């Protein structure tokens, strides 16, 4: 039965691409532009630096220092703090890549890696403020509420996931003074650097090759799910699936017109967030709640990227998927609970483009940063791909010799 369903689904998609070539092509271009202009140039430097930080032992150093914080809160080693911070700063799937890398380095157990990957993948501030609040809602103040609900929801997911894997053997460590912790961190930093005997040039080349290969995979998923989402819309499957969400929307007293954006967002967050901002039958609070849910759930496109990354390890995908559902509902609930105080404090009004004091500098610097990526992003992408091609050819030649 599973074989028949999978084969039928792929066949329908192939036929749909033939029936709707123009729509498929435009969806591919849309996904490619997003990867070309924003995703690659924003993630590539962080991926390379992360690989170098792990290779030079800096992550191990930070792990020892963060152990007293991460272990009691999330039941993960201190190195998880690095993955958590990088995941919030750069956006998905950076948290999954770092979690998988730490698991390959044996710095995490399987259960610890599953806990870590469940709450270290989140939307980047650039996407929340620049694309969603400014680009879709035309309301920069709304980005503050989106970011607060999103990151607080992710923190609560981490707290909940600490109870995952209760049967594992707990490790108790003796209490140390701050000086002893810092001294131990320095010794771990030095020991890791000594053990890694690869030259700096080799480490840098491997970091570039690994980062570009991961980003190429991410780009493929973005384009693929952009096309799938468009074809589902053309085949009216999106509207059919949206009918099932009407019952859930009725329970929470939300407009039924939000069903289509929810289904679109379940597959791809950018289109879903954009469609949610355009539902005139819903008020701004309802639109914000649905958008927060979409950002928390992350969409099948991001989840497929994470599944592809963790497939190289023994990390299970199911805990991550359940955490995304939990994150979606928590973010939507936080948005509902904090809507009134945030709306009164920040004077959030539908269609209000007034910029709060913290965003007035440099004429809305989130929008400026987003436009800067659109201008210089392709240049960074081209140069990075050229460097990747050169290093890959050089590596293949040295292997053949």
According to the model, what pLDDT value does residue 179 have? Answer: 66
Instruction: Output the pTM of the full model.
Output: 0.82
The residue assigned the tokens 């690095």 is 82
* pLDDT score of 278: 86
The 3 state secondary structure assigned to the chain is: CHHHHHHHHHHHHHHHHHHCHHHHHHHHHHHHHHHHHHHHHHHHHHHHHHHHHHHCCHHHHHHHHHHHHHHHHHCCCCCHHHHHHHHHHHCCCHHHHHHHHHHHCCCCCHHHHHHHHHHCCCCCHHHHHHHHHHHHCCCCCHHHHHHHHHHHHHHHHHHHHCCCCCCCCCCCCCCCCHHHHHHHHHHHHHHHHHHCCCCHHHHHHHHHHHHHHHHHHHHHHHHHHHHHHHHHHHCCHHHHHHHHHHHHHHHCCCCHHHHHHHHHHHHCHHHHHHHHCCCCCCCHHHHHHHHHHHHHHCHHHHHHHHHHHHCCCCCCCHHHHHHHHHHHHHHHHHHHHHHHHHHHHHCCCCCCCCCCHHHCCCCCHHHHHHHHHHHHHHHHHHHHHHHHHHHHHHHHHHHHC
Whether 282 contacts 316, CB under 8 Å = no
pLDDT at 370 (0 to 100):
64
Count of beta carbons in the 10 Å neighbourhood of residue 366: 21
CA distance 245 to 259: 6
pLDDT averaged per 10 residues, the chain (length 401): 86 89 89 83 82 79 79 85 83 85 87 91 82 81 89 93 73 60 74 74 84 87 87 85 82 84 88 86 88 92 90 90 94 91 69 40 56 76 85 77 57
């Amino acid at each position: 039965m599973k074989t028949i369903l999978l084969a039928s689904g792929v066949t329908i998609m192939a036929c749909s691409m033939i029936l709707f070539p123009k729509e498929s092509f435009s969806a591919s271009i849309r996904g490619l532009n997003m990867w070309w202009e924003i995703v690659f140039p924003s993630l590539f430097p962080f991926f390379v630096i992360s690989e170098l930080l792990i290779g030079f032992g800096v992550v191990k150093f930070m792990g020892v220092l963060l152990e007293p914080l991460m272990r009691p809160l999330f039941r993960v080693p201190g190195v998880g703090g690095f993955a958590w911070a990088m995941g919030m700063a750069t956006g998905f799937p950076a948290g999954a890549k770092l979690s998988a890398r730490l698991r390959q380095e044996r710095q995490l157990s399987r259960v610890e890696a599953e806990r870590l990957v469940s709450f270290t993948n989140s939307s980047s501030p650039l996407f929340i403020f620049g694309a969603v609040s400014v680009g879709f809602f035309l309301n920069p103040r709304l980005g503050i509420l989106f970011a607060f609900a999103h990151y607080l929801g992710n923190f609560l997911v981490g707290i909940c996931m600490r109870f995952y894997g209760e049967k594992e053997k707990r490790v108790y460590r003796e209490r140390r003074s701050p000086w002893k912790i810092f001294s131990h961190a320095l010794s771990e930093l030095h020991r890791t650097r000594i053990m890694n005997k690869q030259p700096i040039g080799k480490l840098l080349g491997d970091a570039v090759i690994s980062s570009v290969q991961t980003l190429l995979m991410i780009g493929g998923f973005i384009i693929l799910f952009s096309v799938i989402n468009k074809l589902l819309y053309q085949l009216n499957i999106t509207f059919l699936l949206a009918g099932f969400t009407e019952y859930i929307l009725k329970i929470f007293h939300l407009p039924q017109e939000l069903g289509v954006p929810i289904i679109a967002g379940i597959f791809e967050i950018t289109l879903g967030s954009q469609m949610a901002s355009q539902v005139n039958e819903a008020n701004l609070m309802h639109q914000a709640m649905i958008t927060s849910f979409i950002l928390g759930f992350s969409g099948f496109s991001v989840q497929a990227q994470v599944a592809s990354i963790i497939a190289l390890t023994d990390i299970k995908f199911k805990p991550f998927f359940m955490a995304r559902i939990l994150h979606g509902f928590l973010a939507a609930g936080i948005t509902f609970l904090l809507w009134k105080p945030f709306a009164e404090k920040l004077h959030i009004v539908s269609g209000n483009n007034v910029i709060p004091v913290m965003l007035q500098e440099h004429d809305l610097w989130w929008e400026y940063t987003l436009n800067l990526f659109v201008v210089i992003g392709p240049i960074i992408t081209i140069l990075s791909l050229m460097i990747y091609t050169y290093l890959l050819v050089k590596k293949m030649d040295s292997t053949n010799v």
